[in-house]
Amino acid sequence: MTESNQSGPPNDEEADGAQAPNPAEIAGRERLSEQVVRTGMFGVSGTPDTSGYGGLQVRRPPPLSSPRPYGGYFDDVADALSDSLEQAGLSFGDAIERVVADRGELTFHVRREHLPRVARQIRDDPALAFELFSGVSGVHYPLDEGRELHAVYHVVSITHNRRLRLEVSAPDSDPHIPSLVDVYPSADWHERETWDFFGIVFDGHPALTRIEMPDDWKGHPQRKDYPLGGIPVEYRGATIPPPDERRAYE
Amino acid sequence: MTTNAADEETAEGRVYTVGGADWDEVVASAAEESERSGEEHIVVNMGPQHPSTHGVLRLILTLDGETVTELRPVIGYLHTGIEKNMEFRTWTQGVTFITRADYLMPLFNETAYCLAVERLLGIEDRIPDRAQVIRVLMMELNRISSHLTGIGPFGLELGATTVFLYGIREREKVLDLFELITGLRMNHAYIRPGGVIQDLPSGAIEKIREFLEIMPRQLSEIHKLFDSSPAFTARTKGIAYLDLTGCMALGVTGPMLRSTGLPWDLRKSKPYCGYETYEFDVVTNETCDAYGRYLLRMDEIDQSLRIIGQCLDRLSGRRPANDPVMIDDAKIGWPARLALGPDGLGPAPDHIAHIMGQSMEALIHHFKLVTEGFRVPAGQAYAAIESPRGELACHVVSDGGTRPYRVHVRDPSFCNLQSLPALAEGGMLADVISSVASIDPVIGGVDR
């Protein structure tokens, strides 16, 4: 119902091509090129739409990428990492896909093949000194084609009192990311947990086994394609389905 | 062999079920076995149901005589899928799940989660002062109860029943305060995105003052029993040694890190909830052992009492006319209010009268916010706080919807427990107990 009503983005006026493009227009075009993640409203489908909101389409926000200056100590960290990587024979642009400075937090999106190199530099370079590894958090984005699985690392520098986030992505078809156990021994359990829940294989991990789920468990429960589970609750003859099958207002 | 130590042959070797008082026989039989096979070690399974493993922690120990040569912790017996479940509930409902992760520090879990959500919403600067003071007050009370639950059972595991009872008795006083303020002893869901759900009830400040008065005396009783008791010091001094290098490599934070002399406390180094405005010290010592960690926890209780005193002074001063505990934003703040009526606690009559009798819009608004919840702008945030066990952090990802896209709890017990082999390997079997207790892991947090 919702898909056919909307005929995509309104056609751009190509006539005034000589004029410099309007930034709002560029932003609008960028936004309209993103995938639709939600349609309609109130989480209801199949019933007659009397509200007029049935045709609503909400698109995924475009991926963030921050320009310089990032603000605060973020520029110092980026400069120091750039210098440090160059000494190691790697350019900043090769190792880091994007830099995001958002909500007071700095994120480096690292290309997965360069992750161990980057991790070693941020730990060992005195100007960076991110000596405390604070964990891996997996995130599954099934809509992000070719980059479905993300591993998000948080590191702390006690020396400089700074925080940094590294984000690495891998496709579902090749869910491999190099392990950081060599650099940060504390990554051991965290990587096992992320393997257990998301199925990301950390190459080079000494013993990548399940940690929270039973050894013989099938599947990786925190992926978005893994159902929540739960059992229907029966109460005086009425049955309430498990949470992910209930009517949802969203 | 007696019937207690019944043995059977399996593919891995001979398996004994030890029933107590038959250790000599097991050792003799193992010696016989090792002579035959040429291997000299015993593998002992401890847990997951063992009184000294702080819940359902399982340890697989390889012993050479009484010396532990290898220790492998096995976790996951209390995995309840809290993180997954939160993806199917609204942002506000998430609080009721995350509070159950580490059940000995529910208010810290709630705060870490709420701070991350508030950062995503961009409302960090708009949280009312009174809400921040109440958060600090509740967290410090919770720190005391958590440390007491760490110290009390520590005693029990080493055979000191009295200390256990003292610890649990004092903790119960904190839980009584929680019950008075939030309605529940544990799993409060009291701290919400935007503030706290309710103001302190009348009489709470006086009750907390009473508590502050009696606590120092009660704590000195625990000090008297433990500090110089040879039975305690012999099993804790120099035991479970982990120095600064080890802590850094293994990601250990909290009292374990501060027992190496490094004053790393997020309340000081990256203050949140207004901690920079309170006077307190970061306690450290340089023993790196189980005894030092015990002393440190006791000293941290003293510091928490200091902070609570300052919170009470701020809360009991003259109150401005408009002093809310929830953010003044109709799109985020929870619309319902509770009030004490003649038949107990229930929805506030004036709010009900307003939405049912006066304003259709207010009713719709209430309904939408309660059933659907608020939207959180897409992005990710990581909020870290200093919990009783170390850095507790919440990594929250939003896709712009009314539910969390992903919530990950960086639980300090999980990280610190990883250091257990480093603490216990090479030591005596009996010291494994001290090592586990000095980490103070809570399996609810480890497994989530």
Question: Three-state secondary structure along chain B?
Answer: CCCCCCEEEECCEEEECCCCCCHHHHHHHHHHHHHHHCCCCEEEEECCCCCCCCCCCEEEEEEECCEEEEEEEECCCCCCCHHHHHCCCCCCCHHHHHCCCCCCCHHHHHHHHHHHHHHHHCCHHHCCHHHHHHHHHHHHHHHHHHHHHHHHHHHHHCCCHHHHHHHHHHHHHHHHHHHHHHCCCCCCCCEECCEECCCCCCCHHHHHHHHHHHHHHHHHHHHHHHCCCHHHHHHHCCCCCCCHHHHHHHCCCCHHHHCCCCCCCHHHHCCCCCHHHCCCCCCCCCCCCHHHHHHHHHHHHHHHHHHHHHHHHHHHCCCCCCCCCECCCCCCCCCCCEEEECCEEEECHHHHHHHHHHCHHHHHHHHHHHHCCCCCCCEEEEEEEEECCEEEEEEEEECCCCCCCEEEEECHHHHHHCCHHHHHCCCEHHHHHHHHHHHCCCHHHHHC
CB contact under 8 A, A103 and B381: yes
pLDDT at residue A43, rounded to an integer: 61
Q: Which of residues 382-441 of B touch A (CB under 8 A)?
A: 382, 384, 391, 393, 395, 397, 399-403, 405-406, 408, 410, 414-415, 418
- A50 vs A70: CA distance, rounded Å: 46
Are the C-beta atoms of residues B297 and B223 closer than 8 Å to each other? no
| Other residues' Cβ atoms within 10 Å of the Cβ of residue A44 | 13
Cβ neighbours of B76 in A, within 8 Å: 210-214
Closest CA to A188 of B418, B417, B412: B418
CB contact under 8 A, B372 and A186: no
pLDDT at residue A19, rounded to an integer: 67
Whether A213 has its CB under 8 Å from any CB of chain B: the answer is yes
pLDDT at residue A231, rounded to an integer: 67
Closest partner residue to A154 (CB to CB) among B249, B250, B395 is B395
SS3 call for A74 = helix
Closest CA to A203 of A151, A130, A125, A132: A151
- Asked if residue A198 has pLDDT above 70, the reply is yes
Cβ neighbours of B368 in A, within 8 Å: 249
Whether A30 has its CB under 8 Å from any CB of chain B: the answer is no
SS3 call for A85 = helix
- A248 vs B403: CA distance, rounded Å: 11
CB contact under 8 A, A188 and B269: no
pLDDT at residue B430, rounded to an integer: 87
Q: Is B62 exposed, middle or buried (0-12, 13-18, 19+ CB in 10 A)?
A: middle
- B228 vs B217: CA distance, rounded Å: 18
Are the C-beta atoms of residues B448 and B412 closer than 8 Å to each other? no
Whether A56 has its CB under 8 Å from any CB of chain B: the answer is no
Whether A152 has its CB under 8 Å from any CB of chain B: the answer is yes
Range of lowest pLDDT (A158-167, A188-197, B77-86, B365-374): B365-374
Closest partner residue to B397 (CB to CB) among A102, A132, A139 is A139
Whether A189 has its CB under 8 Å from any CB of chain B: the answer is yes
CB contact under 8 A, B79 and A212: yes
Whether A35 has its CB under 8 Å from any CB of chain B: the answer is no
Are the C-beta atoms of residues A181 and A206 closer than 8 Å to each other? yes
DSSP 8-state assignment for residue A226? S
CB contact under 8 A, B372 and A249: yes
- Asked if residue A193 has pLDDT above 90, the reply is yes
Pick from B91, B248, B272 the residue to mutate for testing the A interface (most A CBs within 10 Å).
B248
Closest CA to B416 of B46, B150, B227: B150
> In the block, which residue shows the tokens 């060599």?
A182
Whether B58 has its CB under 8 Å from any CB of chain A: the answer is no
pLDDT at residue B111, rounded to an integer: 94
Tokens of B116: 């991350």
Pick from A103, A153, A231 the residue to mutate for testing the B interface (most B CBs within 10 Å).
A103
- B404 vs B91: CA distance, rounded Å: 6
Tokens of B431: 């010291």
- B236 vs B39: CA distance, rounded Å: 32
CB contact under 8 A, B79 and A161: no
Number of H helices, E strands in chain A: 6, 11
| pTM: predicted TM-score of the whole model, two decimal places | 0.86
Are the C-beta atoms of residues B270 and B103 closer than 8 Å to each other? no
Whether A137 has its CB under 8 Å from any CB of chain B: the answer is yes
CA triple B310-B441-A218, angle to 5 deg: 130
- B50 vs B57: CA distance, rounded Å: 8
CA distances from B136 to A26, A147, B88, B107, B409 (A): 46, 40, 29, 10, 20
Find the helix or strand (DSSP H, E) in which A76 lies.
Answer: helix A74-87
- For B382, which residue in chain A has the nearest alpha carbon? A105
Whether B50 has its CB under 8 Å from any CB of chain A: the answer is no
Cβ neighbours of A188 in B, within 8 Å: 418
Whether B263 has its CB under 8 Å from any CB of chain A: the answer is no
DSSP 8-state assignment for residue A144? S
Closest partner residue to B81 (CB to CB) among A104, A107, A221 is A221
- Asked if residue A18 has pLDDT above 60, the reply is no
- B137 vs B69: CA distance, rounded Å: 44
Q: What is this model's ipTM?
A: 0.84
CB contact under 8 A, A60 and B402: no
Whether A232 has its CB under 8 Å from any CB of chain B: the answer is no
- B378 vs A235: CA distance, rounded Å: 38
Closest partner residue to A37 (CB to CB) among B380, B399, B406 is B399
Q: Is B36 exposed, middle or buried (0-12, 13-18, 19+ CB in 10 A)?
A: exposed
Cis before A69? omega within 30: yes
SS3 call for A30 = helix
Whether B88 has its CB under 8 Å from any CB of chain A: the answer is yes
Task: Tell me the pLDDT of chain B (448 aa) as tens digits.
Answer: 444 445 566 666 677 777 666 777 777 777 777 777 666 777 888 878 776 667 788 888 888 878 888 898 989 888 988 999 899 889 999 999 999 998 999 999 999 999 999 999 999 888 999 999 999 999 999 999 999 998 988 888 888 888 889 989 999 999 999 998 988 888 998 999 988 988 888 888 999 999 999 999 989 988 988 888 888 888 888 888 999 999 999 999 999 999 999 999 999 999 999 999 999 999 999 888 999 999 999 999 999 999 999 999 988 877 777 788 888 888 888 877 777 777 777 788 888 888 889 989 888 888 888 888 888 988 999 999 999 999 999 999 998 888 999 999 999 999 999 999 999 888 888 889 889 888 988 988 899 8
pLDDT at residue B17, rounded to an integer: 72
Whether B159 has its CB under 8 Å from any CB of chain A: the answer is no
CB contact under 8 A, A60 and B122: no
SS3 call for A238 = strand
- Asked if residue A149 has pLDDT above 70, the reply is yes
- B293 vs B260: CA distance, rounded Å: 9
Whether A163 has its CB under 8 Å from any CB of chain B: the answer is yes
CB contact under 8 A, A134 and B393: yes
Residues with Cβ within 8 Å of B89's Cβ and at least 6 positions away in sequence, in order, are A243, B96, B97, B403
Closest partner residue to A186 (CB to CB) among B270, B405, B415 is B415
Whether A127 has its CB under 8 Å from any CB of chain B: the answer is no
> In the block, which residue shows the tokens 């990710």?
B380
- Residue ranges of alpha helices (H) inside A104-145 are 115-124
Higher per-residue pLDDT: B322 or A10 = B322
| Other residues' Cβ atoms within 10 Å of the Cβ of residue A32 | 14
CB contact under 8 A, B88 and A249: no
Alpha-carbon gap: A218 to the closest alpha carbon of chain B (Å): 15
Whether B264 has its CB under 8 Å from any CB of chain A: the answer is yes
B206: Cα within 13 Å, side-chain hemisphere:
3
Closest CA to A84 of A49, A40, A129: A129
pLDDT at residue B20, rounded to an integer: 67
Whether B89 has its CB under 8 Å from any CB of chain A: the answer is yes
Higher per-residue pLDDT: A26 or A186 = A186
A174 residue type, one letter: D
- A34 vs A27: CA distance, rounded Å: 11
Q: Which of residues 365-384 of B touch A (CB under 8 A)?
A: 368, 371-372, 378-382, 384
Phi-psi region of A158 (alpha: psi -120 to 50; beta: other; left: phi over 0): alpha
CB contact under 8 A, A152 and B403: no
- B273 vs B265: CA distance, rounded Å: 14
Tokens of B292: 């030092």
Are the C-beta atoms of residues B6 and B20 closer than 8 Å to each other? no
Whether A2 has its CB under 8 Å from any CB of chain B: the answer is no
CB contact under 8 A, B253 and A132: yes
CB contact under 8 A, A133 and B251: yes
Tokens of A19: 């004029």
Closest partner residue to B75 (CB to CB) among A139, A156, A212 is A212
Please give, one letter per residue, the 3-state secondary structure of B2-17. Answer: CCCCCEEEECCEEEEC
